[in-house]
């Protein structure tokens, strides 16, 4: 920020001026910043609407050079703490459709050009979603409504009547139709300009290597057949090799509401790091344990739990696509416990002995070779 900046008070910020302090309340993130400043300063802040540069605005205040410098330092502080934003550019036409998405992004960034750049990254990104079941179909619709414009959808299944209680993208009239074709129609209804590549295929070791898919910015794995662990391994290996951010977006693997980790290659714990950690945690004496067999076993499912997992996954995906820094689910795996109504978090850091991303790991070595 400099004296040629055009600042405005962010629309999500409320100001409470008292004689002894002024409180700035950031509504989106429920955060207060309290400063010991003259309450009359708040009146000045409401004048900031981005219509003129700071130098012109300050010149009208007839301040001494010391007062002007102090005021400039205050405005710089308020700008860096998401209270004022620099209107260095005007928003484009997309603001009319997504005004609240822009307002949300403003909480993380200091200027409108940064906000516009972040939103354009979201619009241009291509997201692959593997599995359109109880989590995947909520995720894809959330991201479409948030501005993502390009999708790759992968699911071999057809819509079954038993899906309808938890998979919001399908109707009774869709029974027997492929999930990817029905979801393609739904997304086009949300926004006709959305571009979709659909594959009615199983996720196996060969699928991602066939060469039919390119320029993926993010992969979200919501497939739990045959297990979440197996599908996550397939996605994880491909994404690590190609340096693609990926998210383990949930699925029924003895969990009703699992929210998996966000993996940023070379920066966070990878899928294999999690496997190693979980193997150590679950290592027990199995000599006196009998295998319980039930070929008809089904884990219970409840729409709010599916939506909860999907919402957190979509939230982290949005931040990843926008290039925002605070990815909460990196190095973290979470389960929502329905009866206690709380979250159980499992934190796992990147492991130096991981055979994927550790110092001797194949993808760590591959990354070093590519960077040479």
83 plus 194 within the same structural domain:
no
Quick check: bond before 178 cis, omega within 30? Answer: no
Question: DSSP of 55-90, one letter per residue?
Answer: HHHHHTTT--HHHHHHHHHHHHHHHHTTSEEE-SS-
The C-alpha atoms of residue 193 and residue 249 are separated, in whole angstroms, by 26
53 plus 189 within the same structural domain:
no
The C-alpha atoms of residue 229 and residue 140 are separated, in whole angstroms, by 21
The residues, ordered by sequence, that sit 6+ positions from 269 with a Cβ below 8 Å of its Cβ are: 261, 263, 277, 330, 331, 348, 349, 350, 351, 354, 357
21 plus 130 within the same structural domain:
no
Signed CA dihedral, 309, 171, 131, 214: sign only: negative
- What pLDDT shows up at residue 282? 76
Domain for residue 289, yes or no?
no
Residue 353: give its domain's CATH number.
Answer: 3.40.50.720
Domain for residue 217, yes or no?
yes
- What pLDDT shows up at residue 239? 94
Which value, to the nearest 10 degrees, does the dihedral of the CA atoms of residues 254, 257, 258, 262 take? 160
Domain for residue 250, yes or no?
yes
Domain boundary among 78, 93, 108: 93
Domain boundary among 69, 93, 117: 93
Q: Which secondary-structure segment (H or E) carries 332?
A: strand 332-337
58 plus 190 within the same structural domain:
no
The C-alpha atoms of residue 112 and residue 86 are separated, in whole angstroms, by 6
The C-alpha atoms of residue 130 and residue 253 are separated, in whole angstroms, by 16
Q: Which secondary-structure segment (H or E) carries 218?
A: strand 218-221
Residue 306 contacts residue 137 (beta carbons within 8 Å): no
Domain for residue 114, yes or no?
no
What is this structure's pTM? 0.88
Domain for residue 236, yes or no?
yes
Number of domains the chain is built from: 2
- What pLDDT shows up at residue 371? 60
- What pLDDT shows up at residue 293? 64
Give whole-number Cα distances, 237 to 219, 246, 271, 328, 355, in Å.
12, 10, 8, 22, 11
- What pLDDT shows up at residue 210? 79
- What pLDDT shows up at residue 369? 62
Residue 72: give its domain's CATH number.
Answer: 3.90.930
The C-alpha atoms of residue 135 and residue 131 are separated, in whole angstroms, by 8
Domain for residue 118, yes or no?
no
Q: Which secondary-structure segment (H or E) carries 367?
A: helix 362-371
340 plus 207 within the same structural domain:
yes
Which residues span the domain enclosing 186? 125-284+294-371
Adjacent-strand bridge partners of 344: 335
168 plus 80 within the same structural domain:
no
Tokens of 32: 């207060």
Domain for residue 106, yes or no?
no
275 plus 222 within the same structural domain:
yes
150-154 and 31-35 beta bridge pairing: unpaired
- What pLDDT shows up at residue 60? 87
Domain boundary among 45, 73, 93: 93
Nearest Cα residue to 196 out of 206, 186, 205, 204: 186
327 plus 183 within the same structural domain:
yes
Domain for residue 340, yes or no?
yes
- What pLDDT shows up at residue 214? 81
Q: Show pLDDT as tens, one digit a residue, over the chain (372 residues).
A: 888 899 999 988 999 998 889 999 999 888 999 999 888 888 888 889 999 998 898 888 888 889 889 888 999 999 999 999 999 999 999 999 999 999 999 988 999 999 999 999 999 999 999 999 989 999 999 999 999 999 999 999 999 999 888 888 899 999 999 999 999 999 999 999 999 999 999 888 788 877 677 899 999 999 877 778 889 999 999 999 999 999 998 654 445 678 889 999 999 999 999 999 888 887 765 566 565 566 666 666 788 888 888 999 999 999 999 999 889 999 998 888 888 888 888 899 999 999 999 999 999 876 666 665
The residues, ordered by sequence, that sit 6+ positions from 271 with a Cβ below 8 Å of its Cβ are: 232, 233, 235, 236, 237, 240, 248, 261, 263, 356
- What pLDDT shows up at residue 255? 56
262 plus 177 within the same structural domain:
yes
136 plus 79 within the same structural domain:
no
Residue 86 contacts residue 1 (beta carbons within 8 Å): yes
Adjacent-strand bridge partners of 7: 86
307 plus 187 within the same structural domain:
yes
Question: DSSP of 29-65, one letter per residue?
Answer: GTEEEEE---TTHHHHHHH-BSSS-HHHHHHTTT--H
* CA geometry: angle 210, 213, 215, nearest 5 deg: 135
240 plus 363 within the same structural domain:
yes
């Amino acid at each position: 920020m400099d004296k040629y900046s055009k600042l405005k008070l962010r629309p999500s910020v409320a100001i409470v001026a008292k004689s002894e302090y002024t409180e700035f309340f950031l509504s989106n993130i429920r955060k207060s910043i309290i400063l010991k400043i003259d309450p009359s300063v708040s009146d000045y802040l409401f004048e900031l609407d981005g219509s003129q540069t700071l130098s012109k605005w300050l010149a009208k205040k007839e301040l001494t050079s010391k007062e002007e410098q102090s005021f400039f330092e205050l405005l710089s502080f308020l700008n860096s703490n998401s209270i004022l934003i620099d209107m260095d550019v005007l928003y484009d036409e997309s603001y009319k459709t997504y005004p609240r998405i822009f307002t949300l992004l403003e909480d993380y960034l200091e200027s409108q050009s940064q906000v516009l750049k972040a939103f354009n990254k979201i619009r241009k990104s291509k997201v692959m979603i593997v599995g359109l079941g109880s989590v995947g179909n909520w995720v894809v619709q959330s991201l479409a409504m948030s501005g993502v414009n390009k999708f790759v959808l992968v699911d071999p299944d057809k819509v079954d009547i038993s899906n309808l209680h938890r998979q919001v993208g399908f109707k009774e009239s869709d029974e027997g139709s492929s999930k990817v074709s029905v979801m393609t129609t739904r997304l086009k209804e949300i926004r006709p300009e959305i571009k979709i590549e659909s594959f009615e295929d199983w996720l196996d070791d060969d699928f991602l290597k066939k060469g039919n898919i390119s320029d993926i910015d993010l992969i979200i794995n919501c497939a739990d057949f045959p297990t979440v662990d197996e599908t996550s391994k397939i996605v994880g290996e491909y994404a690590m090799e190609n340096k693609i951010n990926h998210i383990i977006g949930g699925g029924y693997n003895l969990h009703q509401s699992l929210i998996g980790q966000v993996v940023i290659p070379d920066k966070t714990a990878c899928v294999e790091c999690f496997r190693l950690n979980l193997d150590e945690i679950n290592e027990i004496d199995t000599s006196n344990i009998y295998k319980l067999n039930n070929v008809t076993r089904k884990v219970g499912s409840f729409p709010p739990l599916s939506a909860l997992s999907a919402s957190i996954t979509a939230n982290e995906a949005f931040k990843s696509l926008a290039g925002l820094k605070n990815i909460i689910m990196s190095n973290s795996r979470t389960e929502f416990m329905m009866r206690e109504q709380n979250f159980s978090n499992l934190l796992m850091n990147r492991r130096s002995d991981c055979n994927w991303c550790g110092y001797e790991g194949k993808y760590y070595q591959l990354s070093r070779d590519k960077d040479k």
